Amino acid sequence: MKTSEKIQVMQAFEDGKQIETKYLSEPYWEAIINPTWDWDSFTYRIKQEQKPVDLSVLIDSGIDCEFSNYKDFAYPCYGPLEDDINPEENYAPKFNAMGTPYCRPRMNHIHAWQCQSFNEAIEFRCKLVEAGFIFSFDTLEYLNGVVLLLWNLDKASDREWPWEME
């Protein structure tokens, strides 16, 4: 990071803007109240405006999802999202077997997605990234002529679940 960029972040803090930080080796940003400005171990940025995760990419993907009546996903049910997203509330499946209003990919779970080629796997992975997901574990396996994409999904740091933006 250039000195001018560091000054810009520190000036934004002085102006009352929220600052985020992360270890240099980590992908996850988190809010910080009193930065120490340890540029050798951390990097800092002005908090970015959050965008909603696009959950429509999960429809008919076969990705194991969590469904719940609660925003904190207490008492979830599991299964694939097989129907359309409600246009009024883009996080709620219009008709899902669980009949619940909240849906997200299953967290802390290794997902497997089967496809016929590496290109198909890479294209699907790119769609997930564009939709606002990150991968904490990611590998491609070739087994008996079938490509398996294995991952653990989470939302990117500049994204929020749609119901968190209400």
In contact, 133 and 156? CB cutoff 8 Å: yes
* Whether 83 and 102 share a structural domain: yes
**pLDDT tens per residue, range 68-91:** 888 888 888 888 777 655 545 555
* Whether 96 and 15 share a structural domain: no
> Cα 17 vs. chain centroid, distance in angstroms?
24
* Whether 78 and 40 share a structural domain: no
Q: How many domains does the chain have?
A: 2
* Whether 98 and 114 share a structural domain: yes
What's the domain range around 20?
A: 3-46
Q: For position 137, what pLDDT does the model report? A: 61
Taking only the tens of pLDDT, the chain with its 166 residues reads 899 999 999 999 999 999 999 998 887 778 899 999 999 999 999 988 878 888 888 877 878 888 888 888 888 888 877 765 554 555 555 445 456 778 888 877 777 777 777 788 788 888 888 888 887 666 767 767 677 777 778 888 778 887 777 6
* Whether 41 and 118 share a structural domain: no
* Whether 36 and 109 share a structural domain: no
